[in-house]
Structure 1
Amino acid sequence: MSDTLSQTEGRPRRGSGRGGGGRRRRGGERSMVPEAEFTSYYGRPIVKASPWEADIPAYLFAGGLAAGSSLLAAGADLTGRPGLRRVGRLGALGALSFSMAALVHDLGRPSRFVNMLRVAKLTSPMSVGTWILSAYGPFAGAAAAAELVALLPPDARRGPLRLLELAGRPAGLVAAVFAPPVASYTAVLLSDTATPSWHEAYRELPFVFVGSAAAAASGLALVGAPTSETGPARRLAVGGALMELAMERRMEQSMGVTAEPLHAGRAGRLMRAARGLTLVGAAGAALSGRSRVLSALSGAALMAGSACIRFGVFEAGQASARDPKYTVVAQRQRMEREGPARHRPEDPDA
């Protein structure tokens, strides 16, 4: 009898779980079921990582650079800064061409991009983005072509070339209207996926990308435009950098556990480099005045920082998809914050 009692006392009680003792429910009642831990089959990822490669973050960066350059060029055109306008328009066309080349390379065939124009689906960020790019591109190209025509001798600017030159301002203004959507829709495209670190950043990521685009475009202007005309670019550089850094900080605070990949590995190194380069570039832009060397160095730092943040966000998303922790724990945090989803019964009379 005593042996039986000793064996019973030495046996762990049901529901004790790990670390002794189950969870206590509200009111002091002890739960008989230990708290579950996140897991997956053989430690394999729950969410499949995106098949995208380096072409996509390059596309994100170049698209933002193009959009910011068009916006800056339109302002320069309206305020009588021809040098700044020329750099903005030509920079927008060059960045857009590079962006489209990276996108088509990722798609594999140009026809796949054209096929996306067969439908317009407002609930699809990819479809909306395709139409935004298709509307923005021709006007940005026409504005850049007008700048090239203006470089020709006056006798050569006749007929159609003269009309193209006159169309430069209207085309540039229309391109500037499409610039903010071009700069921000890629953030919506990323956050609309199931990739944990991209999806949880959906609130702030568009603002991060817009600020980054403004900083990058200002950096290009500081490198290429006459220093006597770069006053608006310097101010936009500071404003864009502050917006990027502030919203990136807020984004990390709102992401919960899915912000961890932004601080680890290659993504962490890229994000730290982005913050450092952006701060240095913004400070240099504010203090450069008419110094050609300081303006160029500040502009290069701003563009490099913008590229780093796009690649950093991309790498963090890929890392979060490979680790099941960021899928399961993020879902739990969302349930604790918003409550479990409730099934709404269908109306039988509907």
Structure 2
Amino acid sequence: MSSPPDDLTAARAGIGARRENGSRRDGKGRRRGGRGGGERKMVPDAVFTSYYGRPVVKASPWEADIPAYLFLGGLAAGSSLLAAGAELTGLASLRRTGRLGATVGIGLSFAALVHDLGRPERFVNMLRVAKHTSPMSVGTWILTGYGPLAGLAGAAEIAAMFTGVPAPLRRVLTAAARPAGWAAGLAAPAVASYTAVLLSDTATPSWHEAHRELPFVFVGSAAAASGGLGLIGATLADAGPARRLAVGGAVLELLAEHLMEPSMGLAAEPLHRGTAGRLMRTSKTLTVVGAVAAAVGHRNRVVSALAGLSLLAGSACTRFGIFHAGQESARDPKYTVVPQRERLDARES
């Protein structure tokens, strides 16, 4: 039996011979190099993979509470904006609808968030710090400031609806509702858009890759939903601003989605597949139908109400569709690995 040094020498000689033969001849015995072509590949092209096929990033633990929280928060924000404008222009039914919609929307949004957190004190614990670089911290403080303002304006409308409320209390609430409603209207754009920043700041591929257009999608969706609610609750004479907001929001949402998908690259695939794909297709259909009905049905109370319902449902489908697309992109490792390798190849080239 030969000694280890002899084995090592033989192995080196064999490797050298294989390299020489591989560089000089192809599989048919023809010489490689020169005018005959480049060197034959000895290693196949790599394909995307992960350890045992497991996800590279962890899908968020959020349940259905979170897309409901996203939708209801946007609805509340747009309703506050409509109510503030109606207060300035003297449109009583639209003001009442907007204030009540904002109060109910933000209340249910808080409830969905707290239910997802598990315990109410966890939300309170987030108020211990204020970190401007954290979308979660900024969003917590935005909600904390906006919620009481919207609730106070809504309480004044509720007090006006019931004769059993003492007159002094009704007068106090009415006097406080005007500045509270205006302040809530000023905070509305931040409430409608910060959730998009919250999602796109994560490592979830389909959320992160949509960071340029997603705030516009959410703002447009919130405007369409709140405009739809105004069409349902306000009289035809007072519903003009709600109609214009609904149509404008629908156009913004659809246009932003159209621009968002090409910019997302491979991460846009989950928006067209499975549950997310069905929700996004339904959202586009409902939003288009609702916007058209709102534009042409300005003289018909029933058509206006149906348009409002369609816009509300379309906005909800948008939030749930984007949520499910993000979760699906986190579970499939290719949406993380392939874009990373494409960026590496682009830098090397």
Query: What does residue range 110-125 of structure 1 map to in structure 2 within 5 Å?
Result: 110-125=120-135
Give the Å deviation of 1:32.
6.3
> Counterpart in 1 of 2:260?
251
Q: Encode CA deviations 1:269-313: one digit per residue, 9 max, x unaligned.
A: 000000000000000000111311101110000000000000000
**In 2 relative to 1, CA 257–69 (structure 1 residues): closer, same or farther, beyond 3 Å?**
same
Give the Å deviation of 1:169.
1.2
> Counterpart in 2 of 1:314?
323
Aligned pair 1:107/2:117, yes or no?
Answer: yes
Query: What does residue range 21-40 of structure 1 map to in structure 2 within 5 Å?
Result: 34-40=44-50
Partner AA of 2:202 in structure 1: T
Give the TM-score normalised by structure 2: 0.86
**What is the distance in 2 between the residues matched to 1:31 and 1:65?**
58
Q: Encode CA deviations 1:296-350: one digit per residue, 9 max, x unaligned.
A: 110000000000000000000010011110001122344456x37xxxxxxxxxx
Correspondent of 2:241 among 232, 251, 261: 232
- Residue 229 of structure 1 aligns to a residue in which SS? coil
Contact 1:228–1:290 (Cα < 8 Å) also in 2: no
Q: Encode CA deviations 1:161-216: one digit per residue, 9 max, x unaligned.
A: 31221111110000011111111111111111111001101110011000000000
Contact 1:208–1:247 (Cα < 8 Å) also in 2: yes
Q: Encode CA deviations 1:67-116: one digit per residue, 9 max, x unaligned.
A: 00000111111111000000000010001111111101100000000000
> Counterpart in 1 of 2:12?
none
> Counterpart in 2 of 1:70?
80
Partner AA of 1:111 in structure 2: E
Contact 1:58–1:99 (Cα < 8 Å) also in 2: yes
Contact 2:22–2:40 (Cα < 8 Å) also in 1: no
* Unaligned segments of structure 2, at least 5 residues: 1-17, 27-37
> Counterpart in 2 of 1:83?
93
Partner AA of 1:236 in structure 2: L
**What is the distance in 2 between the residues matched to 1:95 and 1:243?**
22
* Unaligned segments of structure 1, at least 5 residues: 1-7, 17-27, 341-350
> Counterpart in 1 of 2:5?
none
> Counterpart in 2 of 1:274?
283
> Counterpart in 2 of 1:45?
55
Aligned pair 1:61/2:54, yes or no?
Answer: no
Correspondent of 2:298 among 275, 289, 300: 289
**In 2 relative to 1, CA 138–315 (structure 1 residues): closer, same or farther, beyond 3 Å?**
same
Q: Encode CA deviations 1:11-62: one digit per residue, 9 max, x unaligned.
A: 9779x9xxxxxxxxxxx88876543221011211111111111000000000
- Residue 133 of structure 2 aligns to a residue in which SS? coil
Partner AA of 2:128 in structure 1: R
Aligned pair 1:135/2:145, yes or no?
Answer: yes
How large is the RMSD of aligned CA atoms in angstroms?
2.3
Aligned pair 1:217/2:233, yes or no?
Answer: no
**What is the distance in 1 between the residues matched to 2:243 and 2:316?**
19
Partner AA of 1:47 in structure 2: V
Correspondent of 2:195 among 178, 183, 186: 186
Partner AA of 2:197 in structure 1: V
Give the Å deviation of 1:156.
3.8
Which of these two proteins has the greater Rg computed from alpha carbons?
A: 2
Correspondent of 1:162 among 153, 158, 171: 171
**In 2 relative to 1, CA 12–249 (structure 1 residues): closer, same or farther, beyond 3 Å?**
farther
- Residue 87 of structure 1 aligns to a residue in which SS? helix
**What is the distance in 1 between the residues matched to 2:173 and 2:340?**
54
Q: Encode CA deviations 1:224-255: one digit per residue, 9 max, x unaligned.
A: 11111101111111100000000011110100
